[in-house]
Amino acid sequence: MKLINGGVCAAKGFVANGIHCGIRKNKTKRDLAMIMSECPASAAAVYTTNLVKGAPLLVTKAHLANGVAQAVICNSGNANTCNANGIEVAEQMSALVAKELGISANDVVVASTGVIGQPLNLEPIANGIPVLAKGLSANGGEAAAEGIMTTDTVKKEVAVSFEIGGKTCTLGGIAKGSGMIHPNMATMLVFITTDVAISPAMLQKALSTDITNTFNMVSVDGDTSTNDMVTVLANGMAGNDEITEENEDFAIFMKALNTVTVALCRMIAGDGEGATKLLECKVTGAKDVPTAKTVAKSVICSSLLKAAMFGADANWGRVLCAIGYSGADVDVNAVDVSFRSAKGEIIVCKNGAGVEFSEEIAKEILLEKEIEILISLGKGEGSATAWGCDLTYDYVKINGDYRT
């Protein structure tokens, strides 16, 4: 499993591009992205659990019913959600892409991210699609990664290469936003491409399994967006024997997928709106995995703990408090807590009660950019990791006046 460059264009047969077409006011910001596979690809996706769903998700879901897709179109700056004509606009986006690329509209994944409840003007998109298509290239992954950003401060892309049955395979992805179960309203979108040959059913199985330990364990602010979506396109151009069952090849594919998704989770959480720190909560010793997940997510979602981490304050009582109200079956008298970063590790709580520790050393550890909150529940073998970020002035600033 080797990290390589190229993001969503790293795998064989994928090209991409991103441009400014005019949806976002700031002309220096790209707002339209396209990804294309040379040939039809196995396709899988997972969608937001929010009852309010963006129109593009409904259209994409219909298009992917047959497990095949060949292109992705995504705009930022407007979510095309809660609009009376949303479905129509998303279908028109697909049709325009299909016409331009000479493929079926049913093979287009369509996505939108931005403000909810404002009509999406098709005109700049219609004008932009031919420009986008013309500029598609194997070097366009970065432009595509930029085209899907909204309040993101950095583009998010990663790729790995690995071997299946003697064939060199590649899997890469781009992401925007901040979560899946608890994503930033600005939406989480992830597009993953691979040249592995894998059936649509097995691709969906791999994705649906992986997200329970990755994107569903990310939280920035507890708000589940209406437009979250993760899609994978697998075009088979690596030439491996098609994966059609849970064999050794599938296990390798799962590992490659997980390497990419965990990297994207860390990028998403670390770039949460206003964030100055990535928080990684690692729970061990739970009676089972669901218990560990519940505890990890509760801790990572605590506004009070997030604010304390912003202040580099080792206020471990807030960790205990979040464990206590998580709803998980936990013996609070068996809980140990420590904080860890590149500067070292410090134990702050043993068996549910405070231990003496140096506030100076704790501060030094917590001033780092990546903080691990380590929780041992002392009751079993269940473990889980959740990713989040600190709560800062800038979060309030960004969201206090997002639309203007």
Tell me 49's DSSP state: -
263 or 320: whose CB is closer to a second copy? 320
Asked if 393 is part of the footprint of a second copy (rule: CB under 8 A), the reply reads yes
To a second copy, the closest distance from the beta carbon of 139 in angstroms equals 36
Q: Least distance (Å) from a second copy to the CB of residue 365?
A: 16
d(CA 276, CA 272): 8
How far is residue 182's CA from residue 395's CA, in Å, rounded to a whole number?
Answer: 15
Contact region for a second copy (CB under 8 A) — 103-111, 221-229, 242-250, 251-259?
221-229
Burial of residue 51 (CB within 10 Å: 0-12, 13-18, 19+) is: exposed
Residue from 187, 259, 385, 392 carrying the catalytic annotation: 187
* Residue whose entry in the numeric block shows the structure tokens 């140990």: 336
Region of 7-15, 135-143, 203-211, 307-315 interacting with a second copy (CB under 8 A): 307-315
The least distance separating a second copy from the CB of residue 82, rounded to whole angstroms, comes to 5
Our finding on whether 222 is near a second copy (CB under 8 A) is yes
Q: Considering only residues 274-303, where is the footprint of a second copy by CB under 8 A?
A: 301-303
Residue with smaller CB distance to a second copy, 79 or 252: 79
The answer to whether residue 51 forms part of the interface with a second copy (CB under 8 A) is yes
Check residue 118 for interaction with a second copy (CB under 8 A).
yes
Total interface residues for a second copy by CB under 8 A? 60
By CB under 8 A, name the one of 207, 320, 373, 386 that touches a second copy. Answer: 320
The CA radius of gyration of the chain, in Å to the nearest whole number, is 21
For CA atoms 268, 273, 279, 285, give the dihedral sign: negative
| Nearer of residues 167 and 363 to a second copy, judged by Cβ | 363
Residue 76 touching a second copy (CB under 8 A) = no
- What is the Cα–Cα distance from 192 to 199, expressed in whole angstroms? 16
CA distances from 64 to 145, 208, 290, 395 (A): 22, 15, 30, 35
Minimal distance, residue 360 CB to a second copy, in Å: 12
Among 185, 202, 300, 389, binds a second copy (CB under 8 A): 185
- Considering the complex, state which of residue 253 and residue 387 has its C-beta at the smaller distance from a second copy: 387
Which one among 76, 83, 258, 338 touches a second copy, defined by CB under 8 A? 83
Closest by Cα among 77, 172, 189 to 128:
77
CA distances from 133 to 129, 190, 278, 403 (A): 6, 20, 36, 30
- For residue 85, how far is the Cα from the chain centroid? 28
The beta strands (E) that lie in 68-177 are given as 68-78, 108-115, 156-164, 167-176
Known catalytic membership, residue 212: no
Q: Which is nearer to a second copy, 131 or 321 (CB)?
A: 321
Is the separation of the CB atoms in 326 and 337 below 8 Å?
A: no
Q: Which residues are catalytic?
A: 187
Residues of the shown chain interacting with a second copy in the complex, contacts defined by CB under 8 A: 49-53, 79, 81-84, 115-118, 184-185, 221-226, 301-304, 307-308, 310-311, 313, 315-318, 320-325, 330, 332, 349, 352-354, 391-393, 395-404
